[in-house]
């Protein structure tokens, strides 16, 4: 590093000067000045390609840099080291710096090592919403079923919509049928915005769970948001032949709206297996509206 003036990161890279790059990583570390943070960012990016595990600790310290760009560069560099970064990254989940905790979650999600699951589950209770969301995203990336129960429980208690969205998306990625009921609850949670992101997150998560979530998806036919109700009918039909028998099972459901939704879907699917069950509904269902819908559905099936 030069005696006077800012460090020349390009020269340090050419000289493979790891120690010099580590010093550059903390150059005027409290400065928001663009020239200063650009040097720190470049040093972080370079250290990721040095292949020297000795730089893991300085990179982890840089996660809390006052400029998020530097912390992000350090995070990407730590990901390059993979599982070797875990012993240093996991303690950062309890760092006083919010940025550092959030970026540690992101790094652990990218590394996808199951040893990070329990610490990330702990981070789901972090005081900062962005860290809780980051922990959920990381657990979704790792894909370990140990995260399902904590995500379900904490989703029901979460007060920040953006975090509820992250929790729902994570449960969708984990595709565990145990999450259906809590996702159904979120699907129908009232929202005052035109495009309720949390309702959509729950809906898409249920779609990923698939047939075990069919009852919840059918309930979306009557959703207060017209775009969600319209998407529900299209997506259920898009599931195709595997969904026919489960839909037939809903023809005798006690909920009129679910029976109606099942009838409509079977009509759109135009599967011959539905002819006899729909005929029985047309003749025997106690609700006139359901009988009428069954008759319309039968007209959609060519051989009915």
Please state, rounded to an integer, the average pLDDT across all residues of the chain: 93
The pLDDT score that the predictor gives to residue 2 is 44
Contact 136, 169 (CB under 8 A): yes
- Domains of the chain: residue spans and CATH: 1-109 (1.25.10), 112-212 (1.25.10.10), 240-304 (1.25.10.10)
pLDDT, mean of residues 123-149: 98
Alpha carbon of residue 127 to chain centroid: 19
3 has pLDDT over 90? no
Model confidence pLDDT, tens digit, residues 25-71: 998 877 778 788 899 999 999 999 998 999 999 999 999 999 999 99
Angle between helices 180-187 and 161-174 in degrees, nearest 10: 140
pTM of the model: 0.89
226 has pLDDT over 90? no
The more confidently predicted of residues 138 and 33 is: 138
Model confidence pLDDT, tens digit, residues 64-103: 999 999 999 999 999 999 999 999 999 999 999 999 999 9
Rounded Cα gap, residues 273 and 277, in angstroms: 8
1 has pLDDT over 80? no
Model confidence pLDDT, tens digit, residues 170-187: 999 999 999 999 999 999
The pLDDT score that the predictor gives to residue 52 is 92
Nearest to 294 by CA among 285, 303, 302: 285
Nearest to 202 by CA among 224, 222, 180: 180
The pLDDT score that the predictor gives to residue 6 is 87
Nearest to 176 by CA among 189, 188, 167: 167
Residue 118 tokens, joined: 């329990």
Rounded Cα gap, residues 202 and 20, in angstroms: 49
């Amino acid at each position: 590093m030069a005696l006077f003036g800012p460090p020349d990161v390009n020269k340090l890279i050419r000289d493979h000067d790891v120690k010099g790059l580590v010093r550059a990583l903390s150059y005027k570390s409290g400065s928001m000045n663009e020239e200063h943070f650009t040097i720190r960012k470049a040093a972080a990016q370079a250290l990721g390609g040095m292949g020297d595990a000795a730089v893991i600790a300085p990179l982890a310290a840089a996660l809390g840099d006052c400029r998020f760009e530097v912390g992000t560069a350090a995070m990407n560099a730590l990901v390059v080291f993979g599982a070797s970064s875990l012993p240093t990254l996991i303690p950062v989940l309890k760092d006083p710096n919010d940025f550092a905790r959030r970026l540690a979650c992101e790094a652990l999600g990218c590394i996808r090592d199951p040893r990070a699951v329990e610490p990330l589950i702990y981070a789901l209770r972090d005081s900062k919403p962005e860290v809780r969301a980051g922990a959920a995203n990381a657990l979704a990336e790792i894909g370990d079923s140990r995260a399902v129960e904590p995500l379900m429980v904490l989703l029901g208690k979460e007060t920040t919509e953006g975090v509820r969205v992250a929790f729902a998306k994570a449960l969708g990625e984990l595709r565990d049928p145990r999450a259906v009921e809590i996702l159904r609850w979120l699907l129908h949670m009232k929202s005052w915005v035109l495009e309720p992101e949390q309702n959509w997150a729950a809906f898409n998560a249920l779609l990923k769970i698939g047939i075990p979530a069919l009852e919840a998806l059918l309930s979306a036919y009557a959703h207060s948001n017209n775009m969600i109700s319209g998407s529900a009918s299209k997506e259920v039909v898009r599931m195709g032949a595997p969904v026919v028998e489960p839909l037939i099972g809903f023809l005798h459901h006690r909920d009129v709206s679910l029976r109606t939704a099942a009838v409509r879907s079977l009509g759109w699917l135009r599967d011959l297996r539905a002819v006899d069950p729909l005929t029985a509904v047309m003749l025997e269902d106690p609700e006139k509206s359901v009988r009428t819908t069954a008759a319309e559905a039968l007209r959609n099936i060519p051989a009915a």
